[in-house]
Amino acid sequence: MAGFLRTKSSADPSSVDSGNLGIKDVAAALRWVKVNIGAFGGDPTRVTLIGHDNGAAIANYLFLSPTSKGLFRRIILLSGTALSPWATIHNADSLRLSVGKQMGCLPQDSKGDDREDIASCLRSRPLQALLDVNLESVRFMPRIAPSLPIDGESTDPTYAMEHASENFITCEVMLGITTTESYGDFNANDIQYGFEEDQRNRILRTYIRNTYVYHLNEIFSAVRNEYTDWDKPIPHPINIRDSTMEALSDGHTVAPLVRVAYLHARRGAKTYFFHFGYQTKESDYPQRLGSVRGEDLTYILGQPLVGGLPFFPQNYSRQDMGVSEALLNFVSNFAKTGDPNVPGIHKEVPDYGTPREKTRYRGLTWDPYEIGTQYYLSITLKPKMKSHYRGHKMAVWLNLIPQLHQPGDEDVNMRHHHFYEREPHYYADDDEESEELLERLATRHYYSYTAALGVTVGVGCLLLVLNMLIFAGIYYQRDRDRRRQNRGHHSNRHSTNSTPSTEETIPMSQRPSTPGSSARQSPLLGRREPELMEIPPCYNTLPRTQHQHDFQSAGPASASNTLKKEKPPPPIRTSSNPTGTGTVKKRVQIQEISV
């Protein structure tokens, strides 16, 4: 734990030097080897670094770090790379906070934003107390591991392998995998009896939730569809187990390793890739699983060649010995020359396999891995060269899923990316606090948006209130202008009705014709049509029956007859006419014209 625990908060600029001490220890050991290996008969220019599982991830980080340039010439990565999801931790500050509180190096109310270095406090604690620290357990993820950045310069291993790292292209690389890299992710009951589809879905859903952040539902559907045998409507539990193991193996180990091989070969460096598919005859593992994680180490280290000794009680067959000798010969040739095909210097022992096994491997040429051919060596009972290891499934993990794993637009809510199923029974967590862990993982990256979401909502409400006030002001102003206009029209009508016009006192027959008048020549009658005028109030004094009779008597029968009628008599004087003034106003004569 002390090798990868960050003892300072990430808010401290010097916090990079307070973590990843385990990687720095390996780099210090390599410097010692480079300086002193000559005294032991070794060549400091031909140092080969081999890493397996977590060791492969650490070797990959050293492979990318500029501070380790020149410390080794070649590297072999087995079942692990820096791109694997279990290769790093993303909660270095929370891990420091948890360990500091349990060891009494930080107050219980600390939030981890202080800049105090807890390294000296941890050194004063006994070893057993450090071993008894309770670390958070997340399935498929490490409890303790290196944290980024590694050397304070590069933060993204993928970017370093694509562009930045010069050390990455100056070394030859050999990469190896086994058939079932996820064997350790299952218990003995699952391995022996298998499980149903519901359990398969829980396992995949848990892995995707703990590994990815965006579009979890879409990624889960893509993985489930790819690793489902649709030809079998009711698959056997053992078949479901095999497909689930294959999915996890490809996801967290094989696809990242193939990605590293592709990036290394694309930059023109020499790359070799192999799949160890051979299974020991007297193995304790189920035969149908093929080789399991770590089984290739036994053959690379030559354990079958010394089987039967007290330290290696396992009994190996002659066939196992032949495979071990061939693989050991490939690795030693690569360490010496950078090419596994160059014949190595080794002692011939008659007991090491049969002549037939030796002929199979010695007559084989191991072609390098290139981005076009993607050749790899399949180490099985009958070894041969193949291309594009699990090509279609690798395309899902390396092409489709990275396209799905995108945050999208900035206004997309984080709940859109989370699983719809939030209940604990939809997941397969091994931790006793699985419900609390599920809630925390399901809402990660969501509460970080809470402050921004609150500010956005507040600004939106403020703008809404401002728009309402502006609309109310405009509406009030328009209403006030409308009332003013109505009062002006009312006063004009009152003055017009109260003051009689002199024009109304002149009969229509005696009115002069003025230019621009509204009277116009009738095209039918060849004479000027009378002007339209307002009916004076005196005309309304006629009886209603007579008024209606005058309009009904005029019809469209003959327009000329109507025009020849005599003028109507003047209106009868009524009591409404003024008396006693000595003058009588002339009344306007109304002539009805039918057209």
d(CA 262, CA 234): 38
336 inside domain: yes
241 inside domain: yes
479 inside domain: no
Which residue pairs, CB below 8 angstroms and at least 24 apart, start in 340-345? 340/174, 340/272, 340/366, 341/365, 341/366
Residue 496 has pLDDT above 70, yes or no: no
- Label each residue of 179-240 as H, E or C: CECCHHHCCHHHHHHCCCHHHHHHHHHHHHHHHCCCCHHHHHHHHHHHCCCCCCCCCCHHHH
Each residue's pLDDT tens digit, 419-459? 888 888 889 876 544 455 555 554 544 444 455 566 678 78
Q: What are phi and psi of 381, to 5 degrees?
A: -60, -35
Domain span holding position 194: 13-203+231-393
CA distance between the termini of the chain: 111
Identity at 191, one-letter amino acid code: I
SS3 362: helix
506 inside domain: no
Q: What is the pLDDT averaged over residues 521-527?
A: 43
> Token pair for residue 77?
């990565």
Closest CA to 49 of 309, 335, 241: 335
Place 48 in a pLDDT band, splitting at 50, 70 and 90.
very high
Between strands 375-379 and 271-276, the pairing is parallel
Looking at residue 160, its pLDDT comes to 87
174 inside domain: yes
Range with the poorest average pLDDT among 115-124, 230-239, 527-536? 527-536
Average pLDDT of the chain to the nearest whole number: 79
208 inside domain: no
d(CA 348, CA 292): 29
Looking at residue 448, its pLDDT comes to 42
Identity at 592, one-letter amino acid code: E
Each residue's pLDDT tens digit, 129-166? 998 999 888 899 998 898 888 765 556 888 889 887 78
Residue 58 has pLDDT above 50, yes or no: yes
**Does the N-terminal peptide bond of residue 142 adopt cis geometry, omega within 30 degrees of 0?**
no
Helices 197-211 and 237-249: angle between axes, nearest 10 degrees: 10
129 inside domain: yes
> Token pair for residue 109?
């109310």
Residue 346 has pLDDT above 50, yes or no: no
Between strands 172-178 and 271-276, the pairing is parallel
d(CA 7, CA 133): 15
CATH code of the domain containing 342? 3.40.50.1820
Model confidence, pTM: 0.70
Q: What is the pLDDT averaged over residues 490-513?
A: 50
Angle at 403 between CA 401 and CA 405, to 5 degrees: 65
590 inside domain: no
Closest CA to 8 of 108, 88, 121: 121
Domain count, the chain: 1
